């Protein structure tokens, strides 16, 4: 018996139009046709005018992919992000710019990010003398997202350079997607080593940089902006009410590379008793085991189809200690081996 991958509801997953500020002009400047690009993905120019308009995340990401295709610029997203000013992000950008220090800016952005973009992750991880600003689209229905990743990491680099100076460079930059043909442009943009095919997108830099003051810090403006965006945060982000399944999916995806992924661990990360989490899932007709399988196989299929990532490395990323165990579980759930599935999707054999 094979498992049918469930189709997630993408209608409520969006991003504020401020993230596309200047998108139309940039397409036209690259010799493309913005009306054609937007029309191909089901968007229109009017929807990009108001920065507070919520755009569907899938078409938003596809618009960047289509722009890269039509302009014949494989690094379209990277170059768009490189010229994007942090303030153009709208309320999210000004929350960062108004914060006291760079660390506060990144933490504040991460805390309210779901008010700007849903189905996604932005978090600051501090470990030892280094830290990572991680960004990832978690929603399984968004599979074409390379251009968005390139653009986003360039925008966040610009934000950090706003505090640390234009010559600042991270220690390392990580990307989920495979190495593109013109990958040297990435190294030039970030002035740092760039690794591809990683578990998630991230900027790695010195933890001490977080203490640097933001040039335009404004405590009163920050309080106003935070109060404003709090009203747009999805219900359940912290209270775990209606969005419990999406919250669990997010935590599962973040913990997939761990061999001890379990309900108790996820409940601890969400700061709720495990029995409460289990009951909430049951009330919505879901089980933890089913959600783990859904997330795991959705990511597996996405990576197999969209990347050159070796199956052995994919197995490790999904929490399997051996590639043979991953292959058996994949075939049991989807009716064919990972190698066969990749061939059927037109991906590269590995």
Per-residue pLDDT at 7: 46
| CB within 8 Å of 335: residues ≥ 6 apart | 2
Q: Which two tokens stand for residue 181?
A: 């043909």
Q: Are 19 and 116 in contact (CB under 8 A)?
A: yes
Alpha helices in 284-349 (DSSP H): 288-306, 311-317, 323-334, 338-344
pLDDT in tens, 122-156: 999 999 999 999 999 887 678 789 999 999 999 99
Task: Give the Cα separation of 209 and 160 in Å (integer).
Answer: 9
For residue 17, pLDDT over 60 is answered with: yes
Task: Give the Cα separation of 1 and 179 in Å (integer).
Answer: 36
Rg (C-alpha) for the chain, rounded Å, is 20
Task: Give the Cα separation of 233 and 117 in Å (integer).
Answer: 10
pLDDT band at 200 (very low <50, low <70, confident <90, very high): confident
Per-residue pLDDT at 2: 46
Q: Other CB atoms closer than 10 Å to residue 227's CB: what's the count?
A: 9
Give residue limits of the domains in the chain: 75-229, 244-344
Q: Is the dihedral angle over the CA atoms 77, 82, 83, 85 positive or is it negative?
A: positive
pLDDT in tens, 240-269: 344 678 778 878 887 776 656 889 988 887
For residue 1, pLDDT over 50 is answered with: no
Compare 343 and 193 and report the one with higher pLDDT. 193
Per-residue pLDDT at 240: 39
Per-residue pLDDT at 306: 67
pLDDT band at 195 (very low <50, low <70, confident <90, very high): very high
Average confidence score pLDDT of the chain: 87
Task: Give the Cα separation of 278 and 286 in Å (integer).
Answer: 9
Q: Other CB atoms closer than 10 Å to residue 268's CB: what's the count?
A: 14
Q: pTM of the prediction?
A: 0.75
What homologous superfamily is domain 244-344 in, according to CATH? Homeodomain-like (1.10.10.60)
Per-residue pLDDT at 8: 46
Taking residues 163-173, what's their average pLDDT? Answer: 97
Backbone phi, psi, residue 173, to 5°: -125, 135
Task: Give the Cα separation of 314 and 323 in Å (integer).
Answer: 8
> What does each C-alpha distance from 21 to 37, 52, 304 come to in angstroms?
15, 11, 33
Nearest Cα neighbor of 116 from 85, 95, 138, 134 is: 95
Point out the least confidently predicted range of 103-112, 184-193, 243-252, 331-340: 243-252
- Assign residue 254 a region (left: φ > 0; alpha: ψ between -120 and 50; beta: otherwise): alpha
CA 198-185-308 angle, to 5 degrees, is 35
For residue 332, pLDDT over 90 is answered with: no
Instruction: Return the SS3 of 120.
Output: strand
Task: Give the Cα separation of 53 and 57 in Å (integer).
Answer: 12
The per-residue DSSP string of 34-103 comes to HHHHHHHHT--GGGGTSTTPEEEHHHHHHHHHHHHHHHT-TTHHHHHHHT--GGGGTHHHHHHHHSSBHH
| CB within 8 Å of 337: residues ≥ 6 apart | 327, 330, 331
pLDDT in tens, 261-303: 889 988 887 778 888 889 888 888 889 998 988 888 888 887 7
Taking residues 9-22, what's their average pLDDT? Answer: 82
- Assign residue 16 a region (left: φ > 0; alpha: ψ between -120 and 50; beta: otherwise): beta
Backbone phi, psi, residue 174, to 5°: -115, 140
Burial string for 75-91 (b: 16+ CB within 10 Å, else e) reads: bbbbbbbbebebebbbb
Task: Give the Cα separation of 249 and 297 in Å (integer).
Answer: 12
């Amino acid at each position: 018996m094979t498992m049918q991958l469930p189709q997630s509801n993408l209608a409520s997953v969006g991003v504020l139009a401020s993230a596309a500020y200047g998108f139309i002009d940039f397409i036209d400047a690259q010799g493309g046709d913005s009306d054609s690009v937007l029309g191909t993905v089901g968007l229109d120019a009017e929807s990009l005018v108001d920065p507070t308009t919520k755009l569907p995340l899938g078409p938003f990401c596809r618009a960047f992919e289509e722009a890269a295709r039509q302009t014949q610029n494989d690094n379209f997203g990277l170059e768009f992000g490189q010229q994007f000013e942090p303030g153009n992000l709208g309320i999210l950008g000004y929350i960062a710019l108004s914060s006291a220090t760079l660390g506060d800016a990144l933490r504040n952005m991460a805390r309210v990010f779901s008010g700007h973009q849903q189905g996604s992750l932005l978090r600051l991880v501090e470990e030892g003398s280094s830290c990572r600003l991680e960004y990832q689209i978690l929603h399984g229905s968004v599979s074409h997202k390379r251009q968005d990743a390139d653009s986003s990491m360039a925008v966040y680099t610009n934000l950090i350079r706003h505090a640390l100076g234009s010559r600042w460079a991270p220690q390392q930059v990580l990307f989920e997607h495979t190495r593109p043909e013109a990958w040297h442009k990435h190294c030039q943009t970030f002035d740092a080593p760039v690794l591809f095919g990683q578990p998630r997108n991230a900027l790695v830099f010195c933890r001490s940089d977080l203490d640097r003051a933001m040039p335009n810090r404004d405590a009163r403006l920050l309080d106003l902006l935070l109060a404003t965006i709090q009203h747009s945060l999805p219900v359940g982000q912290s209270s775990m009410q209606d969005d419990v399944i999406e919250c669990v999916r997010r935590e599962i995806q973040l913990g997939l590379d761990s061999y001890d992924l379990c309900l108790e661990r996820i409940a601890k990360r969400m700061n709720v008793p495990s029995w409460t989490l289990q009951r909430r899932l049951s009330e919505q007709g879901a089980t933890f085991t089913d959600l783990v399988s859904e997330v795991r196989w959705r990511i597996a299929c996405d990576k197999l189809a969209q990347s050159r990532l070796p199956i052995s490395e994919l197995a490790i990323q999904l929490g399997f200690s051996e590639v043979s165990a991953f292959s058996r579980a994949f075939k049991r759930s989807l009716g064919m081996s990972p190698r066969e599935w990749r061939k059927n999707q037109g991906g590269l054999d590995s």
